[in-house]
C-alpha cells in the first residue's frame, strides 16, 4: 500500500517543477502561473483563510491545490484553484483527499467554496466531491459548506487525511 499524505505547505517544494512539467505536457498552464505568482509574491495563499496544500505518495509530490478568498463573490466565499494531480497518481483517491483537506480548511473560514473548470473530467470530479453546478461567469461549481454532504468533505471531517487533473 502506498502511504499518502496531504498537508498544508508554506513554501513551494522543489518537486513542484517536475509536477509543472507534467501538467504542461497535458496542456495545463496553471501550475506555471502558480509558480510565477508565488515567486513574485502576487499570490502565496497567505491571506486569512487561504492555504496551499500538497499531496505526497511515498514522499513524492503528486498533487497540489489551493484555497483563496474568491475575488468574484460575496464575503465568506473561498475559491478552489490550481488543483492538479499527476496522471500516474489518478485513480488512487489522491485528488479526493486533496480536495477534502482543502474543504475542511475552508469550513473553518468560509460559508461556501467556488471553482472554475473547463474540462469534462474536472466537472465530473468536482460533482463527485459534492460540488453543484452554478451559472456564473467566474465559477462553474459551488459548495455550501454549512450544508455540505460531500463524500470528500465527510471523509476528512471524520478524521481521514485528505484530485483531479
In the chain, what are the domains?
A: 4-157 (3.40.630.30)
CA distance 137 to 160: 34
How would you classify the pairing of strands 77-85 and 132-136?
A: unpaired
Which residue from 65, 60, 57 is spatially nearest to 83, judged by alpha carbons?
A: 65
The tens digit of pLDDT for each residue in 35-89 reads: 999 999 999 999 999 999 999 999 999 999 999 999 999 899 999 999 999 999 9
Task: Kindly report whether the global pTM for this prediction surpasses the value 0.85.
Answer: yes
Amino acid at each position: 500500500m502506498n502511504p499518502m499524505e496531504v498537508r498544508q505547505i508554506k513554501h513551494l517544494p522543489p518537486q513542484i517543477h517536475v509536477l509543472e512539467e507534467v501538467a504542461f505536457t497535458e496542456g495545463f498552464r496553471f501550475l506555471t502561473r502558480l509558480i510565477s505568482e508565488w515567486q513574485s509574491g502576487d499570490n502565496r495563499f497567505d491571506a486569512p483563510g487561504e492555504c496551499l496544500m500538497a499531496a505526497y505518495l511515498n514522499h513524492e509530490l503528486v498533487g497540489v491545490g489551493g484555497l483563496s478568498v474568491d475575488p468574484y463573490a460575496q464575503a465568506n466565499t473561498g475559491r478552489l484553484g490550481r488543483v492538479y494531480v499527476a496522471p500516474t497518481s489518478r485513480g488512487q483517491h489522491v485528488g479526493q483527499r486533496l480536495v477534502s483537506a482543502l474543504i475542511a480548511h475552508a469550513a473553518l473560514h468560509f460559508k461556501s467554496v467556488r471553482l472554475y473548470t473547463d474540462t469534462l473530467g474536472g466537472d465530473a470530479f468536482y460533482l463527485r466531491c459534492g460540488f453543484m453546478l452554478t451559472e456564473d461567469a467566474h465559477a462553474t461549481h459551488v459548495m455550501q459548506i454549512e450544508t455540505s454532504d460531500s463524500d470528500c468533505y465527510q471523509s476528512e471531517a471524520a478524521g481521514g487525511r485528505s484530485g483531479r487533473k
